[in-house]
Amino acid sequence: MEPNRNIFREYDIRAVYEEDLKGELPYYLGKSFGSAVKKDGGKSVCIGGDNRLTTPEMKDKMIKGISESGCNVADVGIVPTPVLYFAIHKYGFDAGAMVTASHNPPEFNGVKMVIGNKSLYGKDIQKLADLIEKNDFEKGHGEIRTMEADGDYADFMLKNFSFKNTLRVGIDTGNGTLGPLIVPLFKKLGIDVFPLYTDSDPSFPNHLPDPLVPENLKDLIKTVLDNKLDIGLGYDGDGDRLGVVDENGGILWGDQLLIIYAREILKKSPGASVIFDVKCSKSLEEEVKKAGGVPVMWKTGHSLIENKLHTEKAPLAGELSGHLYFADDYYGFDDAVYASLRLLRIMDRTGKKPSALLYGVKKYHATPEIRIELPDEKKFEAVENIKSHFTSKNLRISDIDGVKVFFTDGWALVRASNTQPALVVRMEAENAGSLEKIKKEFLATVDTFLV
Ligand SMILES: [Zn+2]
């Protein structure tokens, strides 16, 4: 079997279903994943899937493949990704697979995989493709059973959260997998829910379930303003990313949310590390220090940030994109429901609205992500050349992930995209004038290295 290697990406497998996943590939993916689990010494796999039309077929084929590798499989059905992660931890499975294409359009599907405490990425995902090409699988007859995990997940949240005040909360799940779970859960917690697109509809008729795109939050912003709500919460298709709208209709990104969480957690755990990706604002670093913590900047990407949280034994990690990880009173995976409840609890305890929770935070000006198309075979070399250029100018740089150049009044970051043939640029500065200047000069420099 010769799969399209391009669908084996840095953090997951993802493709247009009809083009690259349909047919026997999911069965072979199951066999290769099950084989990897067995080689790691494991035998039990929990599997779930999102609400896409192609998910049941893809999941069933994967289950068959996993069981024929000799692993036992427990199928938790159609669930948001955090419920699958929760099930792995709560019931002690050796591994897990989530059939999902997160926020991608309806024609896509894919799979995210976990072995032990680690999300698969990079070489480990390429190895699955190698096993399929070589037809090199473990053999056996694992048991297959179905089980329910939503109930225990909801019970965990009900046991761990309670609210004195009735918070008025807008919720937009973009017709993804999370709506049918979160609305009744939040109502049971006494939250006054204003639901938007919370029914499951994998044709995503209203907007793609991706709160990182401001356009996708505009209906939620309107709902918050029209009804004078305390907050609006937007989720991605499989419920592992959160976008927040404050009481004034402003968008709070992942780095701002981390400031709010860090201030609470560092009171309890002074001196703890807070992990965040290179795209985050300097204000996060400043606020973590002010709150008595150690800011740790790390590579962008779900699996990388999550692994760093474990190796640094940090209570909190997150990304600008809205993946938020709590190892403080929780298991350390990214769960947008849990992250929302932590935020609502801070609002409840302090009596403050979201914008007021960011008191004293210096406001920087930043660009959105700028994508510059560049073929995969050229993008890494371009970043290396840009790095040498700025190093020779005696500017302070960080090469944790791509190259981040620090100027006196701001910074600029350029990285090779892990998922697309492109460079990704983002810049931040103390004021609009400085940002314009950095943007003009930095983009002009990057441009000279694209040929
Ligand atoms: Zn997601």
- Each residue of 30-46: pLDDT tens digit? 999 999 999 999 999 99
Give the pLDDT score at 190: 98
Q: Specify whether 89 is catalytic.
A: no
CA angle 191, 195, 196 (to 5 degrees): 155
**Average per-residue pLDDT for the chain:** 96
- List, in order, residues 6 or more apart from 46 with CB less than 8 Å away: 73, 74, 76, 84, 87, 88, 91, 93, 95, 96, 97, 149
Residue whose C-alpha is closest to residue 282's, from 341, 356, 366: 366
Check pLDDT > 90 for residue 311.
Answer: yes
- List, in order, residues 6 or more apart from 123 with CB less than 8 Å away: none
Cα–Cα distance for residue pair 84/86, rounded to 1 Å: 5
DSSP E strands in 299-416: the ranges are 316-318, 324-326, 365-366, 370-373, 396-398, 403-407, 410-416
Give the pLDDT score at 420: 80
Q: Which DSSP letter does residue 274 get?
A: E
**What distances in angstroms separate CA 416 from CA 11, 182, 289, 298, one per listed residue?**
14, 36, 29, 15
Task: Give me the amino acid identity at 333.
Answer: F
Q: What is the largest CA-CA distance in the chain?
A: 65
63 by DSSP, 3-state: which? helix
Name the helix (H) or strand (E) containing 320: none
Check pLDDT > 80 for residue 276.
Answer: yes
Check pLDDT > 80 for residue 402.
Answer: yes
The β-bridge relationship of strands 95-99 and 294-298 is unpaired
User: What are the residue ranges of helices labelled H in 269-328?
Assistant: 282-290, 302-311
Q: Specify whether 365 is catalytic.
A: no
Mind giving me the DSSP string for 126-159? HHHHHHHHHT--------EEE---HHHHHHHHHH
Question: How do residues 94-125 score in pLDDT, each as one tens digit?
Answer: 999 999 999 999 999 999 999 998 999 999 99
Cα–Cα distance for residue pair 420/162, rounded to 1 Å: 42
CA of 209 to the centre of ligand 1 (A): 9
CA of 119 to the centre of ligand 1 (A): 13
Tell me the pTM: 0.96
User: Which domains occur in the chain, in start order?
Assistant: 5-148 (3.40.120.10), 151-250 (3.40.120.10), 252-358 (3.40.120.10), 365-448 (3.30.310.50)
Give the pLDDT score at 214: 94
CA of 99 to the centre of ligand 1 (A): 11
Question: Tokens standing for 33?
Answer: 């994943």
Of 14, 342, 365, 426, catalytic: 14
Check pLDDT > 90 for residue 377.
Answer: no
Give the pLDDT score at 396: 94
Question: Tokens standing for 304?
Answer: 């990388």
Q: How confident is the model at residue 417 (pLDDT cuts 50, 70, 90)?
A: confident
Give the pLDDT score at 16: 96
Q: How confident is the model at residue 421 (pLDDT cuts 50, 70, 90)?
A: confident
**Given the structure tokens 């779970």, which residue do they identify?**
181
Of 35, 67, 69, 102, catalytic: 102
**What distances in angstroms separate CA 229 from CA 129, 178, 220, 338, one per listed residue?**
48, 21, 10, 20
CA of 419 to the centre of ligand 1 (A): 14
Percent of residues, the chain, with pLDDT higher than 70: 100
User: What are the residue ranges of helices labelled H in 161-246?
Assistant: 179-188, 218-226
Q: Specify whether 200 is catalytic.
A: no
Of 323, 342, 415, 426, catalytic: 323
200 by DSSP, 3-state: which? coil
Residue whose C-alpha is closest to residue 426's, from 364, 365, 366: 366
Check pLDDT > 80 for residue 451.
Answer: no
CA of 35 to the centre of ligand 1 (A): 26
Question: How do residues 171-227 score in pLDDT, each as one tens digit?
Answer: 999 999 999 999 999 999 999 999 999 999 999 999 999 999 999 999 999 999 999
Check pLDDT > 80 for residue 166.
Answer: yes
Question: How do residues 225-259 score in pLDDT, each as one tens digit?
Answer: 999 999 999 999 999 999 999 999 999 999 999 99
Give the pLDDT score at 10: 87
- List, in order, residues 6 or more apart from 445 with CB less than 8 Å away: 386, 389, 390
Residue 341, number of CB atoms within 10 A of its CB = 21
CA of 80 to the centre of ligand 1 (A): 9
CA of 49 to the centre of ligand 1 (A): 12
Q: Is the separation of the CB atoms in 219 and 158 below 8 Å?
A: no
CA of 46 to the centre of ligand 1 (A): 18
Q: Is the separation of the CB atoms in 80 and 181 below 8 Å?
A: yes
Q: How confident is the model at residue 1 (pLDDT cuts 50, 70, 90)?
A: confident
Q: What are phi and psi of 150, to 5 degrees?
A: -55, -40
Question: How do residues 427-445 score in pLDDT, each as one tens digit?
Answer: 999 999 999 999 999 999 9
CA of 45 to the centre of ligand 1 (A): 20
Check pLDDT > 80 for residue 62.
Answer: yes
Question: How do residues 344-365 score in pLDDT, each as one tens digit?
Answer: 999 999 999 999 999 999 999 9
CA of 241 to the centre of ligand 1 (A): 6
**Given the structure tokens 């929780």, which residue do they identify?**
330
Give the pLDDT score at 376: 84
Helices and strands, number each (H, E), in the chain: 13, 22
**Given the structure tokens 């761990």, which residue do they identify?**
160
Cα–Cα distance for residue pair 391/397, rounded to 1 Å: 7
